[in-house]
A = this chain, B = another copy of it.
Amino acid sequence: MMRTLAIVFFLGTMLSAYGQHTLNSPNGKFKMVFTIEKGRPTYALELNDSPVIAKSFLGLDLLDTESLLAQFQIVDTQRTTLDETWEPVLGEYKEIRNHYNELLVAMEQQGSNRLMHIRFRLFNDGLGFRYEFPEQPNLTYFIVEDERTQFAMTGDHTAFWIPGDYDTQEYDYTHSKLSEIRGKMKKAITPNASQTSFSPTGVQTALLMKTDKGTYINIHEAALVDYSCMHLELDDDNLVFESHLTPDALGNMAYMQTPTQTPWRTVIASNKASDILLSTLTLNLNEPCAYEDTSWIKPVKYMGVWWEMITGKGSWAYTDALNSVKLGKTNYVHTLPNRTHSANTDNVKDYLDFASQHGFDALLVEGWNEGWEDWFGKSKDYVFDFMSPYPDFDIEELELYAQDKGIALMMHHETSGSVRNYERHLDQAYAFMQQHGYNSVKSGYVGDIIPRGEYHYGQWMVDHYLYALKKAGAYKIMVNAHEAVRPTGLSRTYPNLIGNESARGTEYEAFGGNKVDHTTILPFTRLIGGPMDYTPGIFEMDVSKLNPKNKSWVNSTLARQLALYVTMYSPLQMAADLPEHYQQHLDAFQFIKEVALDWDVTMVLAAEPGDFITYARKEKGKDNWFIGNTNDENPRTSKLAFDFLDPEKTYLLTLYRDSKDAHYKNNPKGYAVEKFKVGSRSKLQVYSAPGGGFAISILDVTEQPEKLKGLRRLKAY
């Protein structure tokens, strides 16, 4: 799958007179300058001769031994160029070009004689660098007390940020100047099931910024393996970010054994917002696919017995008669059922019927297993066993029923943060899945981690998520991990990681709502690391219609809900609403049925973080295109050209748009579905309502020309 076009090595020492080393991107637009300043390594990054990262210091504090910050001298440098293309198993592109110039700076610390390398890779979309610690006599095991990587900003940029937190990313984005972060932090920290903020200027990556000159800068990390997750802490006097890792119970950040390295620290930058969205740097900095056979890894379009519990219409728990469960001791069979338990065989069958009828791949069922009566917030070790269905969930019957309907059941493993318990059951639980025909699992880590003192984003847990993922791979199981650490491109290496939550998803629309512009920011931030299981497709925005006690409102129009299948890239997509709501809008539902999940081409037609994003994507292996636009609270009209279409063909375009009177609050269901003939020279203006958007399918109907009959052809304006 990988095709190496050219690898050129420039080996040996190339010391410049002043210890300054310059690295240019292949297209020459980026320039990175590395220097040793009084023994301290620094770097700076320019784009088109303008600074993106001002001179910033590099290094680490180690526990109980001298820091790796100063007294360095360069002992060697190596330059490399790579230009290759590779094909992702699932993705936004048929091929991805991995093209960079590399500078490896080998340094030795005077006095301690310890070696530290910094490897820089400069792509056309940005910079990646990491610390490397080769095998050496004077440094074998060490403990990172603090990583001291700086990202010095060149001005008081506008940032789209969420509070730094060791345990959750489920925050709405705040849009502010860097200097305003401190003042806005308290309000930004909204309640969560598990949360540990650490600083009034601490924020999470991927962090998106925009300079006054219109440059977009994204800081994140790639290939987070055997290390703790990085946050950024702002020195707001100097506008310098410094890395802030996630500690363990003792306050230590990472345990290292040479030869080893940190994850990549990444800076993606461009004067075009769309380039941030199209960046492939994060994937390119990850290792190639670790699996020989990937035939079992497929896109998954799914429904779920889920939204009814999220909204409070139904329950995960089987009974209200227990406030304490002991697995293996609690006898559910003789316990009064609450009759609100959603994961009952009949209800699941109804979902299966609907999902099958409409061509879905899978059905998630949450709350199927014993323990949900007191699963959360109790520091309960043995909280679930992942193998004991409730009495009203007939797993054998549903296995056969689903098989008959051509639907895979999607397993749900909520760990409640009790990860030792999960790992103890993992083999059996995966084998149980295989036995009952499940080929994918949604895992969850709600609540504080057990062992207590560990955090969701510490090295201990980072190791766990990968352990569970690799073990799933051994069982040919695809994983969709919620509340796990934010992705950093690992889906390249382990493409069975088909989704992650790791951000504030649609569920919060039933917990009080998301900000209207939320989905215009996520692709610039959270999605830089990998796909998100955002669970869109809500057609009934008034949550009180499901549960009169829940006054939440989904802050989106129905048309925008469709757009999210295109704007929120994921090979795993859920139609999250209830079948009865889709039944009422089968014309709109048609888009969800048709939309592809895996792509040969991805383009950004328009994008501005916090305002709007419009993507166009071409279905993998087919000449079908899908377009999505998500819009903030301001109404907008998009002008679309279709010059990416085959000029020889006429396609069937279906437009799912907001009506003129649509509004995410007042009239979210105001939408229209229209069909047109469309060619490469066609143009179209589409209105997006406040909190709205649109979705478009453009199907190759060459084999079914009758489908175009009677349709108006879209012309150039």
Contact = CB atoms under 8 A, between A and B. Distances in A.
Contacts of A512: none
A272 interface: no
Contacts of A255: 379-381
Contact of A453 (B143, B249, B258): B249
Contacts of A454: 249, 451
A418 to B, nearest CB: 11
Contacts of A381: 255, 463
Contact of A452 (B248, B378, B463): B248
Nearest to A258: B324
Given A257-B324, A257-B380, A423-B420, A452 B141 contact: no
Contacts of A258: 324
B257 A326 contact: yes
Contact of A451 (B143, B248, B323, B374): B248
Nearest to A463: B381
Contacts of A423: 420, 423-424
A427 interface: yes
A578 to B, nearest CB: 33
Nearest to A451: B451
A511 B380 CA distance: 42
A141 B380 contact: yes
Contacts of A135: 324
Nearest to A326: B257
A141 B427 contact: no
Nearest to A63: B379
Contacts of A257: 324, 326, 378, 380
A463 B382 CA distance: 11
A452 B252 contact: yes
Contacts of A475: none
Given A258-B324, A326-B257, A452 B249 contact: yes
A140 interface: yes
Interface in A375-409: 378-381
Interface size class of A (residues with CB under 8 A): 20 to 34
A461 B141 CA distance: 25
A323 B249 contact: no
A159 B380 CA distance: 39
Given A423-B424, A467-B424, A453 B326 contact: no
Interface string A434-454: 000000000000000001111
A671 interface: no
Interface string A625-651: 000000000000000000000000000
Interface string A457-483: 000100100010000000000000000
Interface string A99-142: 00000000000000000000000000000000000010100110
A323 B257 CA distance: 11
Contacts of A378: 141, 257
A333 interface: no
Contacts of A324: 135, 140-141, 257-258
A467 B421 CA distance: 11
Contacts of A17: none
A8 interface: no
A194 to B, nearest CB: 14
A324 B139 CA distance: 10
Contacts of A424: 423, 467
Contacts of A141: 324, 374, 378-380
Contact of A427 (B143, B374, B427, B451): B427
Interface in A348-370: none
Contacts of A6: none
A250 interface: yes
A135 to B, nearest CB: 7
A141 B326 CA distance: 12
A374 B451 CA distance: 26
A244 B137 CA distance: 44
A454 B427 CA distance: 25
A163 to B, nearest CB: 23
A379 B257 CA distance: 10
A381 B260 CA distance: 14
A323 B135 CA distance: 10
Nearest to A460: B451
Nearest to A377: B141
A374 B140 contact: yes
A380 B424 CA distance: 20
Interface in A240-257: 248-250, 252, 255, 257
Nearest to A379: B255
Given A248-B452, A249-B453, 5 more contacts: A137-B323, A249-B250, A250-B452, A420-B420, A453-B453
16 contacts: A140-B323, A140-B324, A141-B324, A141-B380, A143-B379, A248-B451, A249-B250, A252-B452, A257-B324, A257-B326, A258-B324, A420-B423, A427-B427, A451-B451, A451-B454, A453-B453
Interface of A: 135, 137, 140-141, 143, 248-250, 252, 255, 257-258, 323-324, 326, 374, 378-381, 420, 423-424, 427, 451-454, 460, 463, 467
Nearest 4 CB-CB pairings of A with B: A249-B453, A249-B249, A141-B378, A451-B451
